[in-house]
């Protein structure tokens, strides 16, 4: 169970969670923010999987073994965590987020729906932003257009996306990902920053 955060109060815009349905473009929007918005600190997840070519420790992920990950979970050091594809574990280290907030940074967590719900429990002062597609048809086109899944896998993901879209009322704000740059600027504005600082 996530532990309750008992530290100093955090303003809602200091920690922002970005979540949404599969294929909506969460990673694309957060990468744009990381590359163009220096005032935003993008949280780095810990994972038990091995590094892929080009991935750097502390930049893309913190790479830990199963024992270390379990220790962090047991000691309440994870804001949220999950097992992905029944294999590797991913999680958000709590202290890294608190350190960034203490340094005056605006923090962005790009995680899945289950992770967003865990953050709501363990850090209720964080604001949750739902990234939505312009239309259902556009989401279907994005998912099927990738060509990375079989028709059966695509159907499963579409059914999952329907359930994920139904969770939108749980969030504080919704941003429509019609264009990546525009969506990123809307998100940055919700974080209490001037979107014009995203060069």
Tokens for 32, please give them: 């744009």
Q: Is 22 annotated as a binding residue?
A: yes
Q: Is 20 annotated as a binding residue?
A: yes
154 bridge partner residues = none
Contact 17, 126 (CB under 8 A): yes
Question: Could you tell me where the beta strands, DSSP code E, fall in 14-98?
Answer: 15-19, 40-42, 45-47, 61-63, 78-84, 88-93
Cα 100 to the chain's mean position, in Å?
A: 16
Tokens for 191, please give them: 């974080």
Q: Is 92 annotated as a binding residue?
A: no
Q: Is 96 annotated as a binding residue?
A: no
Determine the Cα angle at 80 with ends 140 and 42, to 5°. 70
Contact 195, 106 (CB under 8 A): no
Q: Is 25 annotated as a binding residue?
A: yes
Q: Is 31 annotated as a binding residue?
A: no
What's the full length of the chain, in residues? 199
How many C-beta neighbours within 10 Å does residue 142 have? 16
Which residues contribute to the annotated binding site?
20-27
Which residues contribute to the annotated binding site for ATP?
20-27
């Amino acid at each position: 169970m996530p532990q309750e955060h008992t530290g100093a109060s955090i303003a809602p815009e200091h920690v922002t969670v970005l979540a949404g349905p599969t294929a909506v473009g969460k990673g694309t929007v957060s990468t744009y923010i990381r590359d163009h918005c220096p005032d935003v600190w993008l949280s780095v997840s810990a994972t038990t999987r091995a590094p892929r070519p080009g991935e750097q420790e502390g930049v893309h992920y913190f790479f830990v073994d199963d024992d270390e990950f379990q220790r962090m979970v047991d000691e309440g050091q994870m804001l949220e965590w999950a097992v992905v594809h029944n294999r590797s574990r991913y999680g958000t280290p709590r202290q890294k987020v608190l350190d960034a907030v203490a340094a005056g940074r605006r923090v962005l967590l790009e995680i899945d729906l289950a992770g967003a719900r865990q953050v709501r429990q363990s850090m209720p002062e964080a604001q949750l932003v739902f990234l939505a597609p312009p239309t259902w048809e556009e989401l279907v086109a994005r998912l099927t257009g990738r060509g990375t899944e079989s028709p059966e896998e695509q159907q499963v993901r579409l059914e999952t996306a329907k359930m994920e879209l139904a969770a939108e009322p749980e969030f504080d704000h919704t941003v429509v990902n019609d264009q990546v740059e525009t969506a990123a600027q809307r998100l940055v504005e919700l974080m209490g920053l001037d979107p014009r600082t995203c060069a």
